[in-house]
Amino acid sequence: MSENKIKSQSEEVNYDTVIVGSGMGGLGAGICLARAGQKVLILEQHDVPGGWCHSFYLNGFRFTPGVHYVGNVGPGESTAELYEGLGIGNDISFFQMNKDGYEHCWVNDEKIDFPSNIDDLITSLSKRFPKEKKNIKKYLKLVQQVSYELFLIPKMNGFWDHVTIPWRTRHMGKYGLFSLRQVIDWHIKDPLLKQILNVQCGDHGLPPKQASFPLHCALMSHYFNGGYYPLGGGGAIVKAMTNAFKSHGGVLQTKTSVEKILLEGNDKKRATGVRLENGQVIKANRIISNADPGITYNQLIGNENVSQKLRERLAKTKYSVTSLMLFLTVDMDVRKAGLDSGNIWLMPNKSMDEFFEDMMSPDLSNESLFPSAFVSCTTLKDPPSYDGRHHTLEVITFISYEAFRAFENETNPRSEKYLQFKEHLSQRLIKTVEKVVPGISDHIVQRELGSPITNEYYINSTEGSVYGTAKTFKQTGPFSYKAKTEIEDLYLCGASIMAHGVAGSAYSGVQTAAIILGCRQEDLIKPDPENRVQVFDAEDDSNYPDWLKNKIALKRAKADLNAKKFVKLKA
């Protein structure tokens, strides 16, 4: 089936499953269900699919707001197995980011790198912090072990597995109830080392005192073998997944907003379809919501249609941080300025708990630099995207939604006050980037700032949250929202269910599909030797195949032809 209109507004159309939202979770579930023979429809309110993973273009330059690196993409690793099991391994390729430093931690004048191997990381940090050598090894091996045990739990099957699970997950049992700050304080004494080891708190958006230690272990472990970036940006993953979904007969409809999930029965406890904003009703045997719990229950279902227990839980649910994202195109040699394919985390020399509080200040009116920023150069991560002249950068800092509360009812066209506030924040972020790339202000070809209001508009996330629900201890693991809901034939998937991130959200969709199909997650993503993800080195083009070299040459040749026509866009 193709991406055609779903018939007239007055007609009811029947599907086995309707999925609301086309993020990684929705696409993952859609592929599995359509491949199993179901008639599946995915509805997306944006004009492109993919949720946070979609790519967009500004005057021909590509940006991806939610994909900055992915872990475990090497042969036999979990993310590669996910894509290969979904049947898209041959359709996507990745570049391994700088092996010597896929993460660069800049703390004032200190610059410390994360190499793409846990043993190399232990060696590197031990050399810089010799007094902590034994502690570093013990702590990082603990992180690795807890992560392994965390992912072992859902794979337990049979009597013997369940008898031995207390022993096989003993580290998880010992440390599972503690925060990141508590556990790292027991192992590490040097304040700077703690800050360096906690840098990836930025990947879940919580300070150490609030972060669940097991979740942080899973996140750190995800990158122990390095960071990878998709050829073609996040949109390439989305394209591969949507093509796979359609190849199995799935229907994807963009620019289609769902107004309500329809309920039937005496107590309205069974989901039977959806009503679109245009009034059309689409009937289905079940509904999967890829929206977060707040959007799903409070808006699509209606708070009045859920149990008192769930209403109380929804009222207490906290959502992750929101963000400012500055998208830049520059006409300078950023490599000469010191950039490479690794991420840069810019931080002050104070505890992460302290400067996280600084970031969450609702007052953003001052002129100072932002206390922390994440800097990513996508044209160095994805060499074929570089035209030989212009680099693209994405600069992110976390903020509190309260800073934008006054603009939460903004409509298009945006108010002058909102636009002025964005301009003020853009200038602050540019000044912050100057610490990383001196002189960059003089080379900006174009820029655009995404705000929490932008996140709400395009992603439809509660208060512009970037990671779904906040990943505190009480909202992760056994305490997270479940795929199967209290409403019959209504299911959830996405960043608020099993795990967040590019791979975690997709895995949540597979998990939801497995529950619906009555099988195990592993049954839906079996290894396929004929379907393999390709990985190239972002820093070394010597082993690139001819097709990739030709792709790079063609990009630069086109840029040369257009060079005389290119006019700098001044903001």
CA distances from 300 to 12, 20, 277, 305, 318 (A): 19, 10, 11, 10, 19
Neighbours of 217 (CB within 10 A): 26
Which residues are within 8 A (CB) of 4 and not within 5 positions of it... i.e. 6 or more apart? 251
H/E stretch holding 123? helix 118-128
Phi, psi of 499 (to 5 degrees): -160, 160
Q: Which of 72, 197, 67, 105 is nearest to 142 (CA)?
A: 197
Note the pTM of the prediction, 2 decimals.
Answer: 0.93
CA distances from 32 to 341, 369, 459, 489 (A): 33, 46, 23, 17
Q: Using the CB atoms, write b or e for 331-341: b if 16+ within 10 Å.
A: ebebeebebbb
Neighbours of 184 (CB within 10 A): 23
Helix, strand, or coil (residue 211): strand
The partner residues of 284 in beta bridges, in order of sequence, read 15
Instruction: List per-residue pLDDT tens for the chain, 571 residues long.
Output: 344 445 544 456 799 999 999 999 999 999 999 999 999 999 999 999 999 999 999 999 999 999 999 999 999 999 999 999 999 999 999 999 999 999 999 998 899 999 999 999 999 999 999 999 999 999 999 999 988 877 655 554 543 444 444 445 555 667 778 899 999 999 999 999 999 999 999 999 999 999 999 999 999 999 999 999 999 999 999 999 999 999 999 999 999 999 999 999 877 799 999 999 999 999 999 999 999 999 999 999 999 999 999 999 999 999 999 999 999 999 999 999 999 999 999 999 999 999 999 999 999 999 899 999 999 999 999 999 999 999 999 999 999 999 999 999 988 899 999 999 999 999 999 999 999 999 999 999 999 999 999 999 999 999 999 999 999 988 988 889 999 999 999 999 999 998 899 999 999 999 999 999 999 999 999 988 899 999 999 999 999 999 999 999 999 998 888 765 544 444 4
> How far is Cα 274 from Cα 120, in angstroms, rounded to an integer?
52
Q: Indicate the domain borders of the chain.
A: 13-93+231-317+467-524, 119-196+206-225, 321-459
E strands, 309-450, in order: 322-330, 343-347, 373-377, 391-399, 444-450
Angle value at C-alpha 426, between 423 and 427, nearest 5 degrees: 90
Question: Which 8-state DSSP code applies to residue 39?
Answer: -
Q: Which residue has the tokens 């096989």?
A: 168
CA torsion sign for 169, 175, 177, 179 is negative
**One-letter amino acid for residue 33 of the chain:** L
> How far is Cα 453 from Cα 458, in angstroms, rounded to an integer?
9
Q: Which CATH superfamily is domain 13-93+231-317+467-524 in?
A: FAD/NAD(P)-binding domain (3.50.50.60)
Residues written for the chain: 571
- The secondary structure of the chain in percent helix, strand, coil, rounded to multiples of 5, reads 45, 20, 35
Question: Which 8-state DSSP code applies to residue 179?
Answer: B
